[in-house]
Amino acid sequence: MLAISKTEPGVGHVALVELEKPAPGPGEVLLRVLASGICGTDVHVYNWGHFAHRMRLPTVLGHEICGVVEAVGPGVTRVAVGTRVSVESHVACGQCYTCHKGWSHVCPNTRYPGIDFNGGFAPFVVLPEQIVWPVPDSISTEAAAMMEPFGIAVHASMEGSGVSGLNVLVAGCGPIGLMNIAAARALGANFIIATDVNPIRLKMALDMGADEAVDVSRVDARALVRAATRGRGVDVAIEYSAKPDSIAMASEVTTPGGELRLLGVPSGEFALNLEPWLFKGLIVRSLHGRRLFSSWEHATNLLLGKKVNIEPLVSHRLPLQESQAGFDAAISGSGVKILFM
């Protein structure tokens, strides 16, 4: 079978390779992949960022997956052949102090498909049973392939004080930021301001439910937030871009006692003025992944109830053979969510 693999260290070196069809072992399932999406992590691997250095190459990429169970290994009990599933990307150990505290989504022993073992940019993939999530028939294959990133947006919207009745800033309108706009709107946010520099994504932000979409390369976001909130600032700022200027702006426009939720991963160290955090008593939350599996329950409910439609985010549906075109669109920002189908 053909698969998209990271073959060597360094920027690029993502290629189509020929592999044998895998077979499931104990506690594993074999999925026939219906759709798989390019994530920011896949782009990070393409560019050989620091997180990718843990990989043992070659490794098939892809962890945003919808598939049908083709076969099951010994001991599998939760799903049967023919079950359509989405995939959680965190394989927590379940045995450590962090997992026992109920924080398995940040388990220090986490393994990831597409990083630590072969992922879903292939016709078939073997995965641990513990990370497959049965998907109701009324949720489309495209949406099911995006449930993993959508879960991050739901997690970010529901942590701390939530978003209901609050003024919210979403800084960075990549696919998850855009999903966060839709999730925050569905969960009752009062006023949503989105920031980015990409005109395609800013237009999509309005389509997904933002009240204002601000090109920070052209407009003073600080002044706009002050005007839109009667000078009070936002109650919650959710930061996805990981750009120093954006984090500084989000810190400044969050109201005293408000929440700054950090999800974007910076490319390296940078200087940061903590004075706004300290003097305004900001509650700063660093968030990663989804809560296992409460975020999945909430995400499923939002999709089933038609409260959120994430399908418009799909800009490209490509065969595996067009892998380079998919990565080019993701890296350049000319695409939003790229799916291999």
Would you please indicate which residues are annotated as catalytic (active-site) residues?
A: 41, 44
CA distance 62 to 31: 13
Strand runs labelled E in the chain: 2-6, 14-18, 28-37, 59-60, 64-72, 84-87, 124-128, 132-134, 167-171, 191-196, 212-215, 234-239, 254-262, 283-286, 314-318, 337-340
CB 211 within 8 A of CB 202: no
* Cis bond before residue 58 (omega within 30° of 0): yes
Q: Which residues on adjacent β-strands are paired with residue 15?
A: 5
Counted residue by residue, the chain has a size of: 341
CA distance 329 to 341: 16
SS3 category, 3 = strand
Helix ranges, 93-193 (H): 97-100, 141-145, 147-158, 175-186
Start-to-end CA span in the chain (Å): 15
The label of the residue with tokens 């999903």 reads: 179
> Which tokens is 15 given?
């290629």
CB 173 within 8 A of CB 195: yes
Separation in Å, CA 252 to CA 7, 46, 156, 177, 225: 43, 34, 20, 20, 10
Burial degree of 38 (CB within 10 A; 0-12, 13-18, 19+): buried
